[in-house]
Chain A
Amino acid sequence: MNEKPQAAIVLDPERYELSAEPLYHFDVDRREFFKLLGAGVLVYSALNRAVTQESGGAGHSWGDSLPKEIDTWLHMGENGRVIVYTGKVEVGQNIRTSLSQAVAEELHIAIDKIEMVMGDTQLTPFDMGTFGSRTTPTMNLQLRKVAAAARDLLVGLAAAQWQADRTRLVAADGRVGDPQTKRSVEYAALVKGQQLAASIPFDDPLVSATDWKIAGQSVHKVNGRDFVTGKHRYPSDLKLPDMLHGKVLRPPSFGAALLSLDTQKAEQMGVTVVHDGNFVGVAAPSTPLAERALKSLHAEWKSERQPSHDELFQYLKKNPENGNDPTGDGDRFAVGNVDQALTSTDHKLQQTYSVSYIAHVPLEPRAALAKWEGDNLTVWTGTQRPFGVRGQLAEAFRMPEERVRVLMPDTGSGYGGKHTGETAIEAARLARAAKRPVKVVWTREEEFSWAYFRPAGVIDVTSAVHRDGTLTAWDFHNYNSGSAGIRTYYEIPNQRIVFHPTKSPLRQGSYRALAATANHFARESHMDEVAHSLKMDPLEFRLKNLKNERLRAVFEAAAKRFGWEKPKSEPEQGFGMGGGYEKLGNIATFVEVHADLKTGEVKVVRVVSAFECGAIVNPDNLRNQIEGSNVQGLGGALFEAIAFDNGKILNGRMSEYRVPRFSDTPVIETVLLDRKDLSSAGAGECPMIGLAPAIANAIFDATGVRLRSLPLIPNGLKAS
């Protein structure tokens, strides 16, 4: 390395998720480094500020002064291929594509020159997980900075080569050009023979959304061909030589304790049998043999009496648990004097709303393939938290995280349901005993019973309003379902908003949009009820109490596209709306239903969603997410509910648990508000939250029947 480029790169450690745990520890052995990545250009971030600052200047030779602990974000090899490393994972939200767009935009390079390495705990920087619609606001921005740093490095290389003033050089279409001399050179030629590294600048100028050429476009799924040809290997498709198939014995009910176990028959089948505490599993060369061995086990269990779905809502209100909800806006918010406002009102309304447990039903069930090499463990698994699963494995096997590697191939969806590493631990436990790689793929029945559910909840709302439609008091209590989206965006002087954690009869966890669905269902249904009690138009009533300009804009845009003012064409027709603000996005959803009290049939005919999430990264994929949110949301709104009794799931099969199908799908229209002046936000969750209240409000509009429990019509509509 003779010449160093003169790129003006600020050597600040990058500050992405500094609150998170340390990054992987990369003991810098120069030769190892070369072997791993090859020559070229590297962009990294470092934790050790001192070392970084020492190096000074711009890019520097790898061997010279690379910090001890680094995260490699981007590598451009001598062939001009770019590899980008991110701990985020792909579960169908199409971030492999949208993040590639971000890199292509800032690096000024064709998108097909980019390969994303995602969710590999050995190769990618630490990441807490892919949830909470965080990829677009955080990782998209991070990778844009990474790509901008690489671009600066390349411009610096060209400037040094030509002895030219770097400020007049321009990067475009995979080349650096000098407009004055008309010279230009390909990135690959610049990179040839180089071993350059640069840390991520903290404040490098990024391409403004108004100038985007690749970002902002409707780019198709980058590896789409692998999916339509069946070539892509999901976690459940993976195979290794000598691999065994694992099966795990499940208790007859939740929390049952194993009293005795007879494994004699299974052991005679020549399979691996593991009995370790409450864990009992088998591993065999074929799935049918593993299933037969599992059936041959004779186990006795002791079960405790547990509540049923009939008593769920009473149970939640009667069983408080001291604790905090880590996912939401906080447990308690108060302003003004709610009690006084409620006693001095001329118009008060008190109602209770509830939501059931629902299942994610990711079409690919949990799956993992585990392999031990000496004391080192490698697991391929479908999880939204590869680093979290690494931690779970390290804990389960009492080993340091450095000896565990978790890889996440693009997976058959998650919806918040794959934050945990059950199959990873099961496969690893069986593989350790068998001394061979073991794959565990859950059956659909296992997925229904032994994963976790969206929390059920009860929400009590009491409001006060002036006769002119001005809200004066809002008392809102959520039991168990969570505090995401619990705060109201309507202007109300007296508020008391409380999340009450309770005990849960079923294992519960994250679900797309978390409790925002429940809290918006209660709030937006209640708003509709208040409007009707005042004989006010529900849209007018909302806008009267709403100052948030972004939210007003989506309500107005959706109303216009929907034709809110238009008269109904038949008595069974009903119109309704719901909307809100969540995860930095704004949604308004308007719904037309056909609801017939005589037959009990309800059909959601048409949905209009207006959505705004800042500058749009990929319009068609955004529409795809909004459409999908509406289709998936339809299930929880209309008919999805987990039935359970005494520690057993009663409808834990797809033939018994109804999910939305082609014939359930309404006409879905999306209105996108592109705010290029605002940072891009995610869209996987927010578009879902307005649907359920909009449907409930539309059913009321058609029939006069007010439904306050999700799902609304598991058994059709009945006059109440």
Chain B
Amino acid sequence: MPTLPLVVNGRDFSLEVDPQTSLLTVLRDHLDLTGSKYGCGEGVCGACTVLIDGKAQRSCITRVGSVWPKTITTIEGLTSGEQLHPVQQAFLDESAMQCAYCTSGMIMSAVSLLNANHNPTERQIIDFMDGNVCRCGTYPRIVSAIQRAAKVMAGSPVAREASR
């Protein structure tokens, strides 16, 4: 088995793993980073979403051997110390979750969107997020959370409580 380099959440790893293995399996089973979830195994539900060089990718259909030297960020790498990323905080503030199994994938997709577009319209949010499934149906709250996070990241004031 070849040794593969991998950069995850700012840490360098060297793994003995078949390069054909899915990135999701490596994250969950080898590195015990279980915040990224299995949902469909074919890249259509978004539960496994991670950032690769800052862009949202489905880790369940990404071969681990194809990633290096690009860097990976998972939900576990989003916080700095105790400080939540504004998107994480916005999901809490808007109660944008029920069972929350989709939440880490939603947050990673939203971060990717806001990295590329600091002030997305509602239509742009919906288009970008359409590959992420929330089976509990919290979509309207997730849209609100992303709008809230965009404002926070731009330094605009936001009401503490949801406006609903």
Chain A residues at the B interface, C-beta cutoff of 8 Å: 91-94, 218, 220-221, 224-225, 227-234, 236-237, 239, 245, 286-288, 361-365, 410-413, 415, 441, 443-445, 620-621, 623-625, 627-632, 634, 653-655, 659-663, 665, 667-668
Contacts and interface: CB of A to CB of B under 8 A. Distances in A.
Contacts of B126: 662-663, 665
Nearest to B145: A228
Nearest to B45: A654
A628 B25 contact: no
Contacts of B37: 234, 236, 363-364, 412
Given A227-B100, A230-B35, A444-B41, A92 B136 contact: yes
Nearest to B103: A227
Contact of B107 (A228, A628, A632, A662): A228
B99 A92 contact: yes
28 contacts: A218-B95, A220-B95, A225-B84, A227-B104, A228-B91, A228-B100, A228-B103, A229-B35, A230-B33, A230-B36, A230-B75, A231-B76, A232-B100, A288-B18, A288-B25, A362-B99, A363-B101, A363-B134, A364-B99, A364-B101, A413-B98, A413-B99, A625-B98, A631-B134, A631-B139, A655-B42, A660-B139, A662-B129
B133 interface: yes
Contacts of A288: 18, 21, 25
Contacts of A661: 130, 133, 139
B136 A413 contact: yes
A571 B107 CA distance: 40
Given A653-B42, A654-B40, A663 B130 contact: yes
B99 A411 contact: yes
B61 to A, nearest CB: 11
A229 B45 CA distance: 19
Identify which of B91, B140, B162 gathers the most chain A CB atoms within 10 Å of its CB.
Answer: B140
Interface string B122-164: 0001110110111111111111000000000000000001101
A627 B91 contact: no
Contacts of A444: 39-42
B44 interface: yes
B28 A628 contact: no
A286 B78 CA distance: 28
Contacts of B142: 662
Identify which of A245, A445, A627, A660 gathers the most chain B CB atoms within 10 Å of its CB.
Answer: A627
B32 interface: yes
A229 B39 contact: no
Contact of B47 (A228, A363, A445, A627): A363
For this complex, into which size category does the number of interface residues on chain B fall? 35 or more
Given A363-B133, A654-B45, A662 B139 contact: yes
A632 B84 contact: no
A528 B138 CA distance: 30
A444 B48 CA distance: 13
Given A218-B95, A632-B137, 7 more contacts: A220-B95, A363-B101, A627-B141, A629-B137, A654-B133, A659-B133, A662-B129
B148 to A, nearest CB: 13
B40 A230 contact: no
A230 B104 contact: yes
A221 B38 CA distance: 23
A237 B101 CA distance: 11
Contacts of A624: 95, 98, 138, 141
B39 to A, nearest CB: 5
A92 B138 CA distance: 11
A93 B40 contact: no
B34 interface: yes
B141 A237 contact: no
B57 interface: no
A625 B40 CA distance: 24
A552 to B, nearest CB: 26
Interface string B88-116: 11011101011111111001000000000
Contacts of B59: none
Contact of A225 (B29, B92, B138): B92
A239 B143 CA distance: 34
Consensus secondary structure, chain A interface: loop
B42 A92 contact: no
A363 B135 contact: yes
Nearest to A629: B137
A291 to B, nearest CB: 10
B66 interface: no
A113 B134 CA distance: 31
A230 B79 CA distance: 10
Given A92-B136, A654-B44, A413 B38 contact: no
Contacts of A91: 99
B103 A287 contact: no
A412 B42 contact: no
Contacts of B125: 662
B147 to A, nearest CB: 13
Contacts of B162: 620
Nearest to A288: B21
Nearest to A655: B44
Interface string B38-58: 111110110100000000000
Given A411-B99, A624-B141, A239 B32 contact: yes
Identify which of B34, B79, B84 gathers the most chain A CB atoms within 10 Å of its CB.
Answer: B34
A627 B134 CA distance: 12
Contact of B135 (A224, A361, A655): A361
Contacts of A225: 84, 92
B98 A628 contact: yes
Contacts of A245: 29
Contacts of B98: 92-94, 413, 624-625, 628
B137 to A, nearest CB: 3
A443 B41 contact: yes
Nearest to A411: B99
Nearest to A226: B100
Contacts of A653: 40, 42
Contact of B97 (A227, A365, A415): A227
A58 B91 CA distance: 46
A413 B101 contact: yes
Contacts of A221: 92, 95, 97, 100
Contacts of A92: 97-101, 136
Contacts of B164: 620, 623
Contacts of B41: 443-445
Nearest to B102: A363
A229 B84 contact: yes
Contact of B34 (A233, A363, A625, A630): A233
A364 B103 CA distance: 12
B19 to A, nearest CB: 12
A245 B30 CA distance: 13
Contact of A237 (B34, B74, B99, B130): B34
